[in-house]
Every structure is written in C-alpha cells, then in structure tokens.
Homo-oligomer: A and B are copies of this chain.
Amino acid sequence: MQNAVILINAEKGRINSVAERLAELTGISEVYSTCGRYDLVAIARTPDFESLATLVTERLNQVEGIRETETLNAMQVHSRHDLETMFSVGF
C-alpha cells in the first residue's frame, strides 16, 4: 500500500464541500478539516505508486474549489498497526 499526506487550501466558502468530494474519491481514506496553515489534510492510501500518481495528477485536480495542493509522498511507514490489513478489511 502506498500512503501520501495531501495538504490542501480551498476557496473560503467551499471548504466543507471540497472535503466531502475528496472523501468520496477512491484512494482517499480520510479528509481532515484542520486548524492552522492548511484548510484540509487528505490521507491517500492506494494499492501502488501508479494509482497514487493517477489520483493526484488526474482526479484530485478535477475537484472544484481547490486552490492549492501539496502532496507529501510517504517513503516509509512506522506504525504498530497493520494499516494495510486495516484499510483493506475496512469498517
């Protein structure tokens, strides 16, 4: 599983609708509306790096109301959880 943290600023009146639209995209597991210098943080979890690339370069930019995104691609994961099993089993 390939993970990425996507930092997002959206147009002021559309932050909630952008969050909802992003959360529906395949490959995005969670979207947080956050305090601080970014409006939203999305966590992407895709089967491999190619799916992540498609998600970020093609589908993400079609969501209206996004002003800026910056993708922090995960090179290593440190966790006591088996994230891959958790998110594939799901709840």
Residues of A participating in the B interface, judged by any CB pair closer than 8 Å = 2-5, 12-13, 15-16, 19-20, 22-24, 29-38, 41, 43, 49, 52-53, 56-58, 61-62, 66-67, 70-83, 85-87, 89-91
A78 engages B23 (CB within 8 Å): yes
Secondary structure at the A interface, as helix, strand, loop or mixed, is: mixed
Residues of B within 8 A of A22 (CB): 78
Query: Which among B34, B62, B78, B83 is the interface contact of A74 at CB below 8 angstroms?
Result: B34
A33 touches B2 (CB 8 A): no
Please judge, given known A-B contacts A32-B5, A82-B91, A91-B86, whether A56 and B41 are in contact too, CB under 8 Å: no
Interface centre among A13, A24, A32 (most CB of B within 10 A): A32
